[in-house]
Structure 1
């Protein structure tokens, strides 16, 4: 299994689709940045069970959507919301219905020891907090919901000058971890990863301040035309108890139904 960061996308696009030869037993999956750690475990289990290699492209859901709409060779798209997967379907680049696989949570996180056990939401307007990390609301669903939460709380206009936008959850998280930003908004799932578990201090954003983050996946038109059998196998695998267990361990909630 190979993880490829979004900013290396041009390498993947180095030749025309007709020139790319993808083994029959390989599927390429576009995965939202918040799901990268859970998907790592899911892909490993799937590879062992089905003997199908999984290659993953990590990025912001909006940017991955743009790539798929322009013909990127992904078999499936695992998004951070349902709006982008719906767009893939309505634009004719996805088949059937999308499947809701998880519900995400938005949190405020800091890697500063001096901010531990303080109300991070109240600290956003504090003069000692100079930079606040936020995934880009245009391309990252968690960034969109973070901005919505700030607007509902009446804080957006007060702190917008402090906001540092990350291209995705991954970059927004890095800004906080490295100390570029004192605090910021990330997905709860990222903080359950082995790399970040027990790092820093986080608080959940009150649920009434943002919309439920239903996360969906869809088989692409390209996937249908290039190994639909493997796509169907992965789609079914995403609904198994083993995958649900991984999602719960990574801080997600499970939907009552798809």
Structure 2
């Protein structure tokens, strides 16, 4: 009888361990540019509801995310704000070849009503204006903005009006929303997502630097199968519709 009781206890313990393991959720760690937060949060919720998994997303400036991947040697997917930081990650052997499926379109944002009557890039050089721009080392829009202004031959003139460099695109939008600055250059999608009381001023086509947004698998992934499945979900037609809702332009629908 005593032996049977011991056997029963061992059996129950083993069954409990197996049950716990079955209930354990697979997890992914994804590094995503801050400008994609709203659509990626929505996609995360849908995927988690349909699958017994947990998606952990770290949002931030693309350069900062790249540094985290390189330092920690962890992660499953990388989705920066442009190919610039993804190519660096590729060159360093941190990621596989990425899939480019969205466009990031730079625009000028001003307060609703456009009180400073800003109509284009040249107006950003006017004396007395206060401008917020993205940090050139940590934020994807930073070096893109510099290229735009250099193409227009006004980088140094605009630089004199810059009062702050931000490390997150949402902060650039907030700076305009709060009247801290008169204008900023951000992604169109960021203006749609975070702009409360803003107007969007298009940038002249001959000067603009439209970028593609990639997503790809980090080479340190511990679950390549799940990573590929989630990547496929993000770039699916359903995923693209969600991105379009937040102001993004899908790469194969630009025309």
TM, length-normalised to structure 1: 0.81
Please give the secondary structure, in 1, of the residue aligned with 2:180. Answer: coil
Q: Distance in 1 between matches of 2:73 and 2:178?
A: 32
Q: Residues 232 and 71 (structure 1 numbering): CA distance in 2 closer, same or farther, change over 3 Å? A: same
Misfit runs of 4+, over 6 Å = none
Asked if the contact 2:34–2:169 (Cα under 8 Å) also holds between the matched residues in 1, the reply is yes
Q: Residues 72 and 204 (structure 1 numbering): CA distance in 2 closer, same or farther, change over 3 Å? A: farther
Q: Determine whether 1:227 maps to 2:223.
A: yes
Q: Distance in 1 between matches of 2:174 and 2:185?
A: 11
Find the counterpart in structure 2 of residue 139 from structure 1: 138
Q: Distance in 2 between matches of 1:116 and 1:188?
A: 20
Q: CA deviation at 1:77?
A: 0.7
5 Å matches for 1:52-71? 52-71=53-72
Q: What is the aligned counterpart of 2:203 among 181, 205, 208?
A: 205
- Mark the runs of 5 or more structure 2 residues left unpaired by the alignment: 1-23
Asked if the contact 1:52–1:230 (Cα under 8 Å) also holds between the matched residues in 2, the reply is no
5 Å matches for 1:11-50? 24-50=25-51
Q: CA deviation at 1:125?
A: 2.1
Find the counterpart in structure 1 of residue 81 from structure 2: 80
Asked if the contact 2:25–2:52 (Cα under 8 Å) also holds between the matched residues in 1, the reply is no
Find the counterpart in structure 2 of residue 256 from structure 1: 252
Q: CA deviation at 1:45?
A: 1.8
User: Rg larger in 1 or in 2?
Assistant: 2
Q: Distance in 2 between matches of 1:53 and 1:207?
A: 41
Asked if the contact 1:192–1:249 (Cα under 8 Å) also holds between the matched residues in 2, the reply is no
How many residues get paired?
229
Q: CA deviation at 1:102?
A: 0.5
Q: Residues 221 and 252 (structure 1 numbering): CA distance in 2 closer, same or farther, change over 3 Å? A: same
Please give the secondary structure, in 1, of the residue aligned with 2:252. Answer: coil
Asked if the contact 2:34–2:60 (Cα under 8 Å) also holds between the matched residues in 1, the reply is yes
Q: CA deviation at 1:154?
A: 1.9
Please give the secondary structure, in 2, of the residue aligned with 1:138. Answer: coil
Q: Residues 221 and 121 (structure 1 numbering): CA distance in 2 closer, same or farther, change over 3 Å? A: same
Q: What is the aligned counterpart of 1:238 among 231, 234, 238?
A: 234
Q: Distance in 2 between matches of 1:113 and 1:88?
A: 41
Q: Distance in 1 between matches of 2:205 and 2:49?
A: 37
Q: Distance in 1 between matches of 2:232 and 2:63?
A: 25
Further displaced range: 107-116 or 246-255: 107-116
Find the counterpart in structure 2 of residue 100 from structure 1: 100
Q: CA deviation at 1:87?
A: 2.2
Q: Distance in 2 between matches of 1:168 and 1:100?
A: 22
Find the counterpart in structure 1 of residue 155 from structure 2: 156
